[in-house]
Amino acid sequence: MKNKRYRFFLYIGITLFLLVGCSVNRTDGEHDPDKIHIMFISSVPPSYQEVMVEYFEQYLTKEVNQGLEIEVSMNFASYDRLTVEIINREVDVFVVDEFLENILIDPYLLTPLDKFTERLPDHVDHTRFQREDESNGEENLYAIPLLDNHLFIQDLGLDLEEDLLVGVVNTSPHRDAAFQLIEQLFLKEGMK
């Protein structure tokens, strides 16, 4: 039993070492300048992919008219998938199941979302989504929770077992569009 456990952790360690080693010089990311890539790693069914693209286009009309494409990827919730996508640095916005928060929330990866702190509902413990930025010692908010009463969840008729989290990648050239989605969709409460 110990031997199997040892081999498992050795395998994980070597895999992470290789993944990090292969991406060490990719601090700027591999983002497409003409496309905002929103990736769901969650329990949201993959059948929502086309609906999501159309839905986000409604809220980014100006950007779409200026040539910005919206790409939505739907993936089942997985620690491994999120880890690989974080290392690839090609995604602009992550929407993940809340249980993935400890992998998602990383000051090295995400853009601080402190300007939205005051807009979070009072009952949400936003300190759960804060981390210390080692470069300056400040605590910043790195993820926004999407609760079942938010406009986005209600408009799409999503019935989720777990809340979602949104994080914006700090190397994304489309942070302004991502902030617009957070402002217009992810922080507005619906009529429920």
Q: 28-40, pLDDT tens digit by residue?
A: 678 889 999 999 9
Q: Model-level pTM?
A: 0.82
Pairwise CA distance, residues 142 & 27, whole Å: 18
Pairwise CA distance, residues 2 & 183, whole Å: 50
Instruction: Give residue limits of the domains in the chain.
Output: 35-186
pLDDT in tens, the chain (192 residues): 566 777 776 777 676 665 555 544 445 678 889 999 999 999 999 999 999 999 999 999 999 999 999 999 999 999 999 999 988 889 999 999 999 999 999 888 899 999 998 888 888 888 999 999 888 889 999 999 988 888 888 888 988 888 999 999 999 999 999 999 988 877 766 555
Pairwise CA distance, residues 156 & 180, whole Å: 18
Residue 89 Ramachandran class (φ > 0 left, ψ -120 to 50 alpha, else beta): left
Residues 132/106, Cβ–Cβ less than 8 Å: no
CATH number, domain 35-186 = 3.40.190.10
Query: 123: which 2 tokens?
Result: 């009952």
CB burial readout 144-178, b (16+ within 10 A) else e:
bbbbeebbbbeeeebeeeebbbbbbbbbbbbbebb
Pairwise CA distance, residues 167 & 108, whole Å: 12
**One-letter amino acid of 73:** S
